[in-house]
Structure 1
């Protein structure tokens, strides 16, 4: 979790000029969606989490 928060700060918050709470909420929500749907993760064999889960499910179904 600490690693995620560090990435959130480095890749999202530091690059954004947050105007108010609602704007900050939207920016962080968008980053979380990006993190889970698009951003590749070294610990997941350089796949995004959604792709990793899909492939893991296919492997289980095929076994």
Structure 2
């Protein structure tokens, strides 16, 4: 299963530390400088659980559409409504928002359930087929 690089957890301090929410086997990202860092390279090279890092071609955001959509929602719902004095303050606000996004925010594409509710319904075999009309 591939994840998108924005699902990495980055901690400050003497330098960024990357940890990944597993069991992903790879990350797809744009070509941002953070994905050239030694910390990210070490995460991908872990011998027990190596990760494949796939970079999308430059100027092709449609190849990373899910995370681009999430970033748009994050900007609309959080960044445009708050001012942050410190990195730590922003980091905490984003962590709280991601928790809200995954556990309580209803998603139209998930039958008006949160991702957590949808996953539980899927595991329990309670999802109804979706009819798509063209």
TM-score after normalising by structure 2: 0.44
* Unmatched tracts of structure 2, length 5 or more: 1-66, 127-134
Larger helix percent = 1
* Higher relative contact order structure (alpha carbons within 8 Å, sequence separation ≥ 6): 1
CA-based RMSD: 1.1
Q: Paired residues, what number?
A: 60
TM-score after normalising by structure 1: 0.91
Runs (4+) off by over 6 Å:
none
Distance 2:82 2:117 in 1: 28
* Unmatched tracts of structure 1, length 5 or more: none
Output one character per residue of 1:21-44: Cα deviation in whole Å (capped at 9) or x when no partner: 000000011000000000000000
Larger strand percent = 2
Select the structure of larger CA radius of gyration. 2
- Pairing 1:41-52 to 2, within 5 Å after superposition: 41-52=107-118
Question: What is aligned with 1:54?
Answer: 120
